[in-house]
């Protein structure tokens, strides 16, 4: 009698984020497969046991390259435990007939809430005011940076699930909301009561708050660089809860230091974490540690969806959320 198929959970050895006991995954996968956690710095650490797995569930900090994919024997699904799948070479997986799946909807509310929290902290200058009060002073500041929300334009780059959720939250708070998304069909703006910008440059010039909600792809890497930031108002704020490399880090930090940008709220940065005390001291910068997706409820939902996809892969059933076009048909015996 052959051993049960293996579902391997790949966690990052430098900063483990998963549950070593994999209780959520075991509950959902049940007896159809063995579930085991592995701790890897990169896919160079993939051993023969991982290579034999019927499905891999991969946390966000462990990249899976073409070299790692070549060592997978009989893998039926490579599941990215989260929304973005830029850490997995999806094209190489497709060449080997391996579906790459993600979990696109688990953190929609949390990330949208986090984006608005960063935007509000910047517009209402919560952190400078907090420092003022804690210095044992009670000086009411000049209005300066403090703004009335309904006079401001909230610009959204990418009107997918999270971008839509953020746009509707901003609209409810009174912002004038515009978006840029060249892949949406006509009429979405009318359905949601938003203004559509014809070009990214148009959105940049109009925005008082620019909130990034597009995936990281070759097209969007460094989508916002020095040229784009120069188009924005010197008083404008940039919020990024998507992927760090969408914004060129050197460019936005230089704009903040030079006073050419009002501020930034970044949950993600290029080549995170921050690299130096100098970066951390950048003026008018709020940074959170890639935590926008975090909540007790969202984390369990993410793990449950990944486990459900892994179970389907083992059983040879249709897969949810395939992002690289691979649809296997035969079952694992």
On the 0-12 / 13-18 / 19+ scale of CB atoms within 10 A, 124 is middle
Give the residue from 166, 145, 148, 146 showing the smallest Cα distance to 157. Answer: 166
Q: Is the peptide bond before 246 cis (omega within 30 degrees of 0)?
A: no
On the 0-12 / 13-18 / 19+ scale of CB atoms within 10 A, 120 is middle
282 by DSSP, 3-state: which? Answer: coil
Catalytic residue among 243, 303, 308, 311: 243
Distance CA 241, CA 162 (A): 10
Active site residue 243: yes
Catalytic residue among 272, 279, 301, 320: 272
Angle between helices 108-123 and 126-134 (to 10 degrees): 60
Question: Angle at the Cα of 289 (from 246 to 271), degrees rounded to 5?
Answer: 45
Q: How many CB atoms lie within 10 A of CB 37?
A: 17
Active site residue 272: yes
Catalytic residue among 196, 213, 290, 308: 290
Q: What does DSSP say about strands 209-212 and 237-240: parallel, antiparallel, or unpaired?
A: parallel
Give the residue from 34, 28, 61, 30 showing the smallest Cα distance to 50. Answer: 34
Active site residue 290: yes
- Beta-bridge partner residues of 101: 79, 322
Residues with catalytic function = 243, 272, 290
């Amino acid at each position: 009698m052959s051993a049960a198929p293996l579902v391997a959970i790949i966690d990052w050895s430098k900063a483990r984020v998963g549950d070593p006991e994999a209780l959520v995954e075991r509950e959902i996968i049940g007896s159809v497969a063995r579930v085991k956690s592995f701790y890897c710095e990169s896919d160079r650490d993939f051993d023969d046991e991982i290579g034999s797995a019927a499905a891999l569930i991969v946390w966000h900090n462990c990249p899976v390259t073409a070299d790692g994919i070549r060592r997978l024997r009989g893998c039926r699904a490579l599941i990215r435990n989260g929304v973005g799948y830029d850490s997995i070479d999806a094209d190489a997986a497709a060449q080997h007939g391996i579906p790459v799946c993600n979990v696109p909807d688990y953190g929609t509310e949390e990330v949208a809430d986090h984006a608005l929290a960063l935007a509000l902290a910047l517009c209402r200058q919560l952190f400078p005011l907090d420092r003022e009060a804690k210095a044992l002073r009670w000086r009411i500041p000049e209005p300066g940076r403090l703004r009335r929300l309904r006079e401001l334009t909230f610009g959204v780059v990418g009107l997918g699930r999270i971008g839509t959720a953020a746009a509707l939250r901003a609209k409810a708070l009174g912002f004038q909301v515009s978006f840029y998304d060249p892949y949406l069909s006509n009429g979405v703006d009318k359905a949601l009561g938003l203004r559509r910008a014809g070009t990214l440059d148009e959105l940049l010039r109009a925005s008082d708050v620019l909130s990034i909600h597009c995936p990281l792809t070759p097209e969007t890497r460094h989508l916002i660089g020095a040229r784009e930031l120069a188009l924005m108002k010197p008083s404008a704020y940039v919020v990024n809860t998507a992927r760090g490399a969408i914004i060129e880090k050197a460019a936005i930090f230089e704009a903040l230091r030079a006073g050419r940008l009002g501020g930034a709220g970044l949950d993600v940065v290029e080549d995170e974490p921050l690299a130096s005390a100098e970066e951390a001291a950048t003026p008018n910068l709020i940074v959170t540690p890639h935590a926008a997706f975090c909540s007790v409820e969202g984390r369990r939902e993410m793990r449950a969806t990944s486990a459900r996809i892994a179970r389907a892969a083992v059983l040879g059933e249709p897969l949810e959320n395939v992002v690289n076009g691979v649809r296997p048909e035969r079952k694992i015996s």
